Amino acid sequence: MMLRNSIATLMIAASLYGCTTSSGKSVNVPLQATRQNAGQIGNVALADWDKQTGLSFFISGVPTGAILPLRLYSFINKGTCEQPGPVAYALNDKVNTERQPVRGWAFSRTAPVPLSTLLAGEYSVVVRSAATDGNADLFCGDIKEANSAK
């Protein structure tokens, strides 16, 4: 069962990555689940959209008891997941998600910063639950040049 979910998640992440591919650079960032969301997996594909960065997320799940419709908040923080810094960009002009046919959730956001700026600094992506669901960090991933696809 877990293998089937992992394969399905990988397929969706790959398709999301394909949707975000543009003539510019793109980066794939694996998201690590926090203790509050143990056992889940996630991915975010970042694509350079001129002076902005498009982010396409896929996560396998959230803690049991989350209120539907699922609302997730996302942030780009200065620093790494191990040594987080302050929020650099809050990506919360919309917080809705889409339920996926293969056990998971997808959503997209836009950051008002070029991807090159994110790759040149030390930044991480954080996915957080809504206040009604405990306002807990669910996933984190470090934005690194090594994850670059182009």
| The pLDDT value given to residue 3 | 40
- Residue 12, pLDDT score: 46
Q: What is the pLDDT of residue 148?
A: 53
**In this model, does residue 34 exceed pLDDT 60?**
yes
pLDDT at residue 52 greater than cutoff 60: yes
Class of 2-147 in CATH: mainly beta
Q: What is the pLDDT of residues 60-108, one digit of tens each?
A: 999 988 998 899 999 999 999 999 999 999 999 888 898 888 789 999 9
- 8-12, 34-38, 88-92: the lowest-pLDDT one: 8-12
pLDDT at residue 13, rounded to an integer: 46
Gap between the terminal Cα atoms of the chain? 33
Annotated domain spans of the chain = 2-147
pLDDT higher than threshold 90 for residue 111: yes
Rounded to whole angstroms, how far apart are CA atoms 77 and 87? 4
Confidence band of 19 (pLDDT split at 50, 70, 90): very low
54 touches 64 (CB < 8 A): no
Amino acid letter, 94? K
Predicted structure pTM score? 0.81
**Side-chain-facing half-sphere of 8: CA atoms under 13 Å:** 15
pLDDT at 25: 86
What's the per-residue H, E or C state across the chain? CHHHHHHHHHHHHHHHHHHHCCCCCEEEEEEEECHHHCCCEEEEEEEEECCEEEEEEEECCCCCCCCCCCEEEEEEEEECCCCEEEEEEECCCCCECEEECCCEEEEEEEECCCHHHHHHCCEEEEEEECHHHCCCEEEEEEECHHHECC
